[in-house]
Amino acid sequence: MFDTLKLLFSYDFIVRAMVAGGLVALCCALLGVSLVLKRFSMIGDGLSHVGFGALSVAAVMNVAPLAIAIPVVIVAAFFILKLGKDSKVQSDSAIALVSSVAIAIGVTVTSLSGGLNTDVYSYMFGSILAMSRTDVYISAALSVVVLILFFVFYHKIFAITFDSDFAKATGVKAEFYNMLIAVLTALTIVVGMRIMGTMLISSLIIFPTLSASAVVKGFRKVVIISGIVSVVCFFAGLYSSYSFNLPVGASIVLANFVVFSILMIVGKILRK
């Protein structure tokens, strides 16, 4: 195993995947705590589909993928939050609408330009080769912002997650923080979805929070444990993907699933 690890670190693309992916996994877990507990889990799913649409269009137009995907996904995040507040469209339907339209656009544009190529396939299911040097920088900057947000505004984030009406009534700008969380989620997803895949990235947001809440009952502990779980599962998935030649996104999701199952059982036993 030691030799495998040594070999692992000798490949540039793996080191990049580890650094950028590990940071993305940490950001997803922290942002996920607020999203999942507020019943906004599906926002990650919706945004990743929008990301797929944008990346496909970028691939066809032959421009830098992030230059198109980042602004489009941020706009989509605003749109989903706005639609969700409007009572005429429920937020779950809003997300489903936005997702399927984005996928439809992506697939249509791709087929007009000559069918599914390897780029588009890897956007769907992720690729260990996906992380570039730019991704490493972006994910590092993102995780710094997310960590600052959680350290400095921790209590405000707790308040808007637990009870946004009360938070607003006591003068917290809940809408601003919700928007900030959505925008950071959008950025994290665009960076992360190319290694994890469109279909699988939302599990990075949802699983860690669920795993952590299975065993601990305080918000602070859930935040800390979900961060740890997410990063550990990411490395376990990446490692098994490399050693057994498995698709990387799927391995990470399965690692999360195994940890989640174990913690659920542990939680059940502890509560007895």
C-beta of residue 189 within 8 angstroms of C-beta of residue 170? no
Question: CB-hemisphere CA count at 13 Å for 72?
Answer: 24
176: contact with another protein by CB under 8 A? no
Closest CB 37 distance from another protein, rounded Å = 6
Q: How far is CA 221 from CA 40, 123, 168, 212, 214, in A?
A: 20, 34, 24, 8, 11
Residue 2 Cα to chain centre, angstroms:
30
Residue from 162, 173, 175, 270 in contact with another protein (CB under 8 A): 162
Which span sits near another protein by CB under 8 A: 51-59, 138-146, 200-208, 210-218? 210-218
Give the nearer residue to another protein in terms of CB position, either 64 or 148.
Answer: 148
Residue from 9, 144, 218, 265 in contact with another protein (CB under 8 A): 218
Q: What letter represents residue 143's amino acid?
A: S
Q: How far is CA 53 from CA 48, 104, 113, 174, in A?
A: 9, 8, 14, 30
Residue from 166, 262, 266, 268 in contact with another protein (CB under 8 A): 166
Footprint on residues 21-50 left by another protein (CB under 8 A): 37-39
Give the nearer residue to another protein in terms of CB position, either 159 or 238.
Answer: 159
- Cα distance between residue 208 and residue 34, in whole Å: 12
Residue from 169, 262, 265, 270 in contact with another protein (CB under 8 A): 169
Which span sits near another protein by CB under 8 A: 73-81, 124-132, 148-156, 227-235? 148-156
The dihedral over CA atoms of 148, 152, 154, 157, expressed in degrees to the nearest 10, equals: -80
Residues at the site binding another protein, with contacts judged by CB under 8 A: 37-39, 86-87, 151-156, 158-159, 162-163, 165-172, 212-213, 216-222
